[in-house]
Amino acid sequence: MTNSAFETLMDIRGRGMPEAGEVEITGADPVFSTRFKIGETCATVLAGIGVAVTDIAEERLGGRQKVSIDARHAAAALRSTLYLHTPDANGGFSQIQMNPDMEHMRTLTQPWPTRDGRWFLPHFNLAHLRDRVLGVLKCDPNPDSVRNAVAQWDALDLEAAIAEARACGAMVRSNAEWLDHPHGKGLAAKPLVEITKIGDSDPEPLTDYTAPLAGLRVLDLTRILAGPIAARTLAENGADVLMVTAKHLPQVAEHVMDTSHGKRSTFLDLTKPDDAATLKALASSADVFSQGYRPGAMAALGFSPEELAERRPGIIYLSISCYGSEGPFKDRAGWEQLAQTVTGICHDGGANGPALLPASACDYTTGYLGAYGVLLALARRAREGGSYHVRVSLCQSGMYIFNKGKVPLPEPDMDLSPAEIAALHTQSDTGHGPLRHLAPILKLSKTQPHWSRPTPVLGGDSPEWLIANG
C-alpha cells in the first residue's frame, strides 16, 4: 500500500513496512461535511494499531494476522457518542439525548470575528472554563453577547488575556501561520508519537495467551475523549483498565458512557494523602499509567514519569496534552477545538469563513495515537526491558490531519446511513442500563478486538487490580 501517513507511523515503529497484503484500508472521504480527510486519517492510525497489536501477539499466534479497516467506519468512530442509543418509550432504542446545557455551550465555542479583522475561538464547554472566559469577556453566555464582546478585542490581545486567566481560547491561524509560529515549528520538528526511554528494567515478555494484552494493568486518569479513547483501545485488546477520577471533577455523562467500555472505575481524590497513597500502590504494579493533565500537574502530586519509573521499573507512562510538552504554549489549557483553531483546520474549514470539523477528529486521533505509542513501548519492553514515556498531543494530530490533504467541500449534513450505523452497533447491559453503541471498528483476523466488561458507573469499583500480575 502507498500511504505516506501510514509510512509515518511505521517509521515510528522502526520495523519497516508490513508484508504486502497484511494491511487493508478501504473506503474514502468525504464521509461527513468537511474537506479534511478525517476518516482516512483515523483509518490509517487504526491500521497502525492493528500492526502493533500483531507485533505483540505474533509469537503466540505463530505468525502475523490480517488487519483491515474501512475509512467510513473509522469516520463514525470519530463521533461515536452521536451513535450511542438508549431505550426509548416505544420499546426500541433511540439516540441518546445530549445534555442541553452542553449543547448550548457548544454553540458559543465557535470562531467569532475580532476588532482587527481576525477570528477568535473561546472555549465554553465546561462550567469552570466558561466562567473564566466570561470573566475576561465580561459578557453573558449567549451568541449575541459573545459576538459583541469578542469584537471589542484584537485577536492576539484576547488570546493573551485568556491564557493569563487560565481559560481556553485561541486566535484562528492558517496552517502556514502555525508552522511559522515558534510553537508550531517546535512541534513540526518532533515525531508524531514521542517514545522516550526513561529507565532501565528487565524484559517483560507477554505470556498470557487469552488476548494480546491479557495480564496487563492500565491506570487511566483521563477525561473527555482523547485519553479515555487510548485506554478503551487497550481494554478492547485484553488489558485490565482501571479508570481513576474523583467525584468533584467535571465530566460529560454521554462521553463517559461511550468511552468507558471494557473498563472499571474508581474514585480517588489525589489531594487527599490516603487516596494518593492508594494510587501509588496501584501504580507500583501497573504496566501503563495514562494521564492528560497540564504539564507539571501530576509531578506536583508525586506522579511524574520519573517517579513512577523509579517506583515501578518497566512502567509505560502516557502523557496526552493539547500543545505538547515544550514551547511557548505548553502550559496553556487546550481542547479539541483549540487544536483545530491553531493548526489551520478551523481556518480552512468553512465555505465562507472559519469552521470547526463535524467530528472530534483531533481528540479521537490523538487517543488512538496514544494507544499506538503504548503498544510500541510494550513491545519494546517485552524485547529489551525499560520504562518509557509516550507523548502525544492534539496539535500534533491536527497537523497530521492537515497534512493528509483535502477533498472538495461536500454538501452539508453528510453522514453514514442508518443501515451502516446499525451494522456497526453492538449492545451492552451496563450500569446505565442497556446501551447500543459502536463496536470496535478495527478488524483483526485472529485477535478481534472486543470488550469483556460493560461500561461501568463512575466510582462503582474498588481501587484494586483484578488480573494477577507477575
The pLDDT tens digits of the residues spanning 277-321 come to: 999 999 999 999 999 988 888 899 999 999 999 999 999 999 999
pLDDT of residue 91: 83
Strand partners, 68: 24, 443
How much of the chain exceeds pLDDT 90, in percent? 82
Count of positions (residues) in the chain: 470
Residue corresponding to grid cell 453566555: 141
Count CB atoms within 10 A of the CB of residue 470. 5
Strand partners, 243: 220, 265
More confident residue, 178 or 253: 178
Question: Going by DSSP bridges, is the β-strand pair 288-291/316-321 parallel, antiparallel, or unpaired?
Answer: parallel
Question: Going by DSSP bridges, is the β-strand pair 316-321/387-393 parallel, antiparallel, or unpaired?
Answer: parallel
- Asked if residue 254 has pLDDT above 60, the reply is yes
pLDDT of residue 249: 84
Longest Cα separation, the chain: 65
Local structure of residue 121 (DSSP, 8 states)? E
Local structure of residue 455 (DSSP, 8 states)? P
> Do you find a cis peptide bond into 30, omega within 30 degrees of 0?
yes
- Rounded to 5 degrees, what angle do the CA atoms 77, 80, 85 make? 140
| Average pLDDT over every residue of 25-38 | 97
- Place 102 in a pLDDT band, splitting at 50, 70 and 90: low
The secondary structure of 146-201 as a DSSP string is HHHHHTTS-HHHHHHHHHHTT--EEE---HHHHHHSHHHHHHHTS-SSEEEEEE--
Contacts of 38 (CB under 8 A, 6+ apart): 29, 31, 32, 75, 78, 357, 359, 361, 365, 401
Residue corresponding to grid cell 470519530: 78
pLDDT of residue 470: 44
What CA–CA distances, in Å, run from 152 to 120, 168, 290? 11, 18, 40
- Asked if residue 469 has pLDDT above 60, the reply is no
Contacts of 281 (CB under 8 A, 6+ apart): none
Tell me the pLDDT tens digit for each residue of 210-223.
Answer: 899 999 999 999 98
Tell me the pLDDT tens digit for each residue of 151-177.
Answer: 999 999 999 999 999 999 999 999 999
- Asked if residue 1 has pLDDT above 60, the reply is no
* pTM for the whole structure: 0.96
What CA–CA distances, in Å, run from 333 to 170, 302, 325? 10, 21, 12
Residue corresponding to grid cell 475523549: 225
- Place 2 in a pLDDT band, splitting at 50, 70 and 90: low
How much of the chain exceeds pLDDT 70, in percent? 98
| Average pLDDT over every residue of 29-42 | 97
pLDDT of residue 467: 58
pLDDT of residue 83: 94
Amino acid at 52: A
Q: How far apart are the first and last CA of the chain?
A: 40
pLDDT of residue 261: 95
